[in-house]
Structures are given as structure tokens and as C-alpha cells.
Structure 1
Amino acid sequence: MRFYQATTFLFPRHYEWRILTVCFGAVHVPLIACVAFAALSGQWHPITLLVLLLATLAGTACGLAAVHGLLSPVTKATRMLESIQAGKRVTDIPIGGRDLVGQLLHGVTTAANESAARIEKLTDAAERDPLTRIRNRRGFLGTAERLLDGERSGVFALVDIDHFKLINDQLGHDRGDDLLTAFAARLSEGVRRTDLVARWGGEEFAVVFPDTDMNEAHRVMDRLRAAIAESTALGVGSRRVTFSCGLAPLSGFSSLGEATRAADTALYRAKAGGRNRVTLAA
């Protein structure tokens, strides 16, 4: 470390240039010694000095190229460390030998992938509802921003389980939690794989239908509503489960706030109209 610190004045921002400079000086020691000896002794041999000069320059060029190549793993390790800092997974994994540089590459690769795996796990935990294991509102918004990139159109659905408070009050929160988990699974299965489902909060769920018009989204949700209303699989005691839904059009992620308010108003009208129905935003 002392020599490293002592040479920081040479190209402080370029470590490889410092190594090349040291190598360049070391390669020229024989030439400098011959010139000094000839000057002191007065015995000049131009041809010998010329050959030595050319050989030195050729050796310098080859040495610099070799050193630059040997330092490339360090450059690669630096890029990998930058990936760690950015929370990315290292995909292009170099293969090192059993020497010090190989150990460095192996250590950085292991650290990078372990760090990325931990970040992915934490991110996934932060963006998923711990009860239903579908996306929470935070995860929904992050995914919806990517899904609705630009002015990509679609439909936003706001879904609410009917009379859920009565189920909690009469049968207990454990039965209510079981219903939320089962309903989230049924809702996810009932829409398309390209659609985005999340728990919006409490007994409310949100769905984004990308590249879908209002009529198609209405058909999907109404078919699902009828299937759940007729099924006994989600029933709580003797009571069957139903839901109400409000639909609103989307035009890019920037319109999600307006669509949420419109879908909420439509959901309110669905509940006021007797529940167990899908209502379009006015």
C-alpha cells in the first residue's frame, strides 16, 4: 500500500496508466545505463545503441499491451462492483484462474449476485401484500408505470367484496383473512396473464387491463362476477360471496389517478344499485 500511495501523483484517476508508466520506466533502464556508460567512457557504438533503442521500444510496446490486457480483469471487477451499487445482477460472469485476480473476480461475482438476490427479495417483499401474496398498492403502481408506458391505453378496475365488514364482525378476522386470500387467487386466475392484479387496500382490489376497451373489460369482470356469485368455493358459512366493480378507461400511466377516481365513483354506484354488479364510469 505504501508504494501505491506514494505513486498517486501519477495519473490519480487512472491506476492502469500508473502501472504502465512504471513499466515504461523499468523497460528503459538498460538503455539509459548503456547511454550513461558510453557517455562516461567516451566509447560510443551507434549501431549497438540503435539496436538497443529499437529493441527497447519494441519491448515497451509489447509490455504495455500485455500489462493492459492483464489489467482488464480489474476493469471488469470495477464494472461488476458498479452493478452491485446499482442493485443489478451480474450476468456476464468472467472466468478467472487460481491467482489473485481470479480470486478477486470470483469474490466480486459472488458478492454481486448475493447482493442482487437480497435486493430482489427485499423489493419483492416490499411490493407484495403479505396476506394474499399478490402485489400491494406500491407494487401495483411500479408495475403499472412500466405496463402503461407512453400513451398505452387500457382499463382500470376497482373491485370491492360485498358486505366484507359483516363477515369480519360475525365470523372473525381469521375467516375474513381466508376469504381475502382465496378471493385474490380467484381474481388472479379469472383475468388474463397480461393483466395486473393487486390488493388496493382492505377488501378492495385493483386490476389493469392493458390494450383493452371498456366493453371487453366489462365482459371479463362480469363473467368473473357471475362465476364467483354462483360458486360455493369462496362461500363463508351459508353465505355466498359477491363483489362490486367499477371500470374506467386509461390512456397511459399519467391518467391512472383520474381513472382511479372515476372507477371509485362507478364502484359507489354499483354498491348503491344493489351490489354484485359491474358498472362503467360515466
Structure 2
Amino acid sequence: MRFYNATTFLFRRHYEWRILFICFFAVHVPLLATLAFQAFSGGWSVPTLIVVLGATLAGTIFGVLAIHGLLSPIRKATNLLRAIQAGEHPGAIPTGSDDLVGRLLDGVIVAAHESSTRIARLETLSEHDPLTGLLNRRGFRKAAECALSRPGNAVLALIDLDHFKLVNDRFGHEAGDTLLRKLAQALEADLRRSDVCCRWGGEEFALLFPDTLVDEARLVMERLRASIALDTGLLDEAWPVTLSCGLAPLRSLTELDEASRRADAALYEAKEAGRNRVRIARS
């Protein structure tokens, strides 16, 4: 490090130029020594000077090209590390031999793998609800972009667990969390691969049914509502679990926000009408 720090005044921002300059000077030592010897002895040999000069120039050109090639893995590793620091995918990483540069590239491979794993884990955490494992609103929005990439009939369903506050008050928050997890499992088990399910917030869930008519979605939700109401293993046999649902049709991603407002209004109507029922948003 001492020599490295001592030569930082040479091309401060270009390490490779510093190496080339030092090698250029080293290659010219024979030529300078020959000139000094002939000047000191007083005997000038032009053929010898021409040979030494030609050999020096040839050695300089070869040395510059060879050092440039040897430094290319370091430049590649530097660019890869910058990409990793920026959170970008570094792409294919070359492998080296068992030398200093090879160990440097191996370190970049390890850093890239750890960075990709960490980014994937953070993305998963940012898009999923930690309690139920379902998508959260952010993840739901991203999944909806794919599900609604082509215009067509689709339905958004908003679901609310009836009297969930009373469940927490009577059985405790741990039982309430367990109920939310069981409901999430029940929702996912009754969906198609193309459907999207998320925890909307609190005791509310959202379902997106692409390529589905509103009457078809209503049949699905009525069947799910009935199965939940009859399932005595969700909480307590003396305390039936029911849910209310609001449905709103849509045809594209641009209508998702409006559909969520209409589905929420339909959900409110379902709860006002006595809960444990499904309502379709008014046109």
C-alpha cells in the first residue's frame, strides 16, 4: 500500500494509466542506460542505438497491450461491483484462475449472489403480508398489472370478516391472528392459478378474478361464504365465522382504483343489510 499511496500523484483517477506509465519508464531503462554509457565512453554506435531503440519501442507496444489486457478483468470486476451497489443485476460474471484476479472475481460472484438473495428477500417482504403470507396492497397492485395486461372482463371482490373486533375482544388477538391465517388459506385453496388474493388491510381481503363475469364471481363468493359459515374449525363451535363481500366488475388496470371504491361501497351495503352476504356494486 505504501508504493500505491506514494504514486497516487500520477493519474490520480486512472490506476491503469499509472501502471502503464511505470512500465513505460521501466521498458526505456535499457535505452537510457545505453545512451548514458555511450555518452560517457565517447564511442557512439549508431547501429546499436537503432537496435536498442527498436527493441524498446517493440517492448513498449507489447507491454502496453499486454497490461491493458491483464487489467481488463479488474475493470470488469469494478463495473460489476458498481452494478451490485446500484441494486442492478450484474449479469454473467467471468471466472478466473487461482490467482489474485481470479480471487477478486470469485469475491464479486459471492457479493452478487448475496446481493441478489438480499434484494429478492426484501422484495418478497415488501410485497407480502407477514401474518398471512398473502400479497399486501403493493404486491396486489403489481400482480394485478400482469393479470389485467389485456382488456377483458374481470371482477374485484373485497371481503370483510364480520364482527372481527368482537373475536379479538373475546378470544384474544392471538386467536384473531390465527383466524386470519386460516381464512387466508381458505381463500387461496378456492382460487384458480390466475386469480390474485391479498390482505387488503386489517380483517379485509381482496380477490381479483381475471377473465370472469360478475355473475360467475358471485357464485364463487357465495360458495366460499357458505363454506366459511359452516366451518366450525375456524374458531369455536359456539361462534360461527362469517364474512361479507362486495363485488365490482372492471375491464382494465386503469379501472382498478374506481372498482375498489365501488366494491368497498358494495361491501358496506352487505354489512348494513345484516352481514354474511355478497353484494354487487351498482352500475
Give the shorter-chain TM-score range: 0.7 to 0.9
CA apart distance, 1:242: 3.0
1:123-164 superposed Cα distances (whole Å, 9 cap, x missing partner): 4334432321223334434x3475378786654321112232
Unaligned runs of 5+ in 1: none
In structure 2, the partner of 1:182 is 182
How far, CA to CA, are the matches of 1:21 and 1:260 in structure 2?
67
Between stretches 259-268 and 242-251, larger displacement belongs to: 242-251
Other structure's SS at 2:23 match: helix
Residue pair 2:221, 2:278 contacting (<8 A) in 1 also? yes
State the Cα RMSD in Å: 3.3
CA apart distance, 1:202: 1.5
Residue pair 2:270, 2:278 contacting (<8 A) in 1 also? yes
In structure 2, the partner of 1:281 is 281
> How many residues align structurally?
279
How far, CA to CA, are the matches of 2:57 and 2:213 in structure 1?
72
How far, CA to CA, are the matches of 2:270 and 2:136 in structure 1?
24
In structure 2, the partner of 1:22 is 22
Between stretches 190-199 and 116-125, larger displacement belongs to: 116-125
Other structure's SS at 2:181 match: helix
Residue pair 1:90, 1:113 contacting (<8 A) in 2 also? no
In structure 2, the partner of 1:43 is 44
Residue pair 1:80, 1:109 contacting (<8 A) in 2 also? no
In structure 2, the partner of 1:257 is 257
1:226-261 superposed Cα distances (whole Å, 9 cap, x missing partner): 443454453631444332222332632x55433322
CA apart distance, 1:276: 3.3
CA apart distance, 1:64: 2.2
How far, CA to CA, are the matches of 1:160 and 1:210 in structure 2?
21
CA apart distance, 1:185: 1.0
1:72-115 superposed Cα distances (whole Å, 9 cap, x missing partner): 23223223322432345656343333333233333333234334
Residues 215 and 75 (structure 1), Cα distance of their counterparts in 2 relative to 1, 3 Å cut: farther
How is 1:1-282 mapped onto 2 (pairs within 5 angstroms)? 1-38=1-38, 41-46=42-47, 48-88=48-88, 92-141=92-141, 143-144=142-143, 147=146, 154-210=154-210, 214-215=214-215, 217-234=217-234, 236-248=236-248, 249=250, 251-252=252-253, 255-282=255-282
How far, CA to CA, are the matches of 2:15 and 2:209 in structure 1?
53
TM-score, length basis structure 1: 0.79
How far, CA to CA, are the matches of 1:212 and 1:14 in structure 2?
61
Residue pair 2:128, 2:136 contacting (<8 A) in 1 also? yes
Amino acid at match of 1:114: E
Identity of aligned residues (%): 57
Other structure's SS at 2:70 match: helix
How far, CA to CA, are the matches of 1:79 and 1:211 in structure 2?
45
Residues 223 and 30 (structure 1), Cα distance of their counterparts in 2 relative to 1, 3 Å cut: farther
Residues 59 and 121 (structure 1), Cα distance of their counterparts in 2 relative to 1, 3 Å cut: same
How far, CA to CA, are the matches of 1:29 and 1:78 in structure 2?
32
How far, CA to CA, are the matches of 2:230 and 2:20 in structure 1?
78
Residues 183 and 145 (structure 1), Cα distance of their counterparts in 2 relative to 1, 3 Å cut: closer
CA apart distance, 1:264: 0.9
1:28-61 superposed Cα distances (whole Å, 9 cap, x missing partner): 3223433454556352324x44443343333333
How far, CA to CA, are the matches of 2:55 and 2:155 in structure 1?
74
TM-score, length basis structure 2: 0.79
Residues 2 and 171 (structure 1), Cα distance of their counterparts in 2 relative to 1, 3 Å cut: closer
Residue pair 1:144, 1:208 contacting (<8 A) in 2 also? no
Amino acid at match of 1:191: L
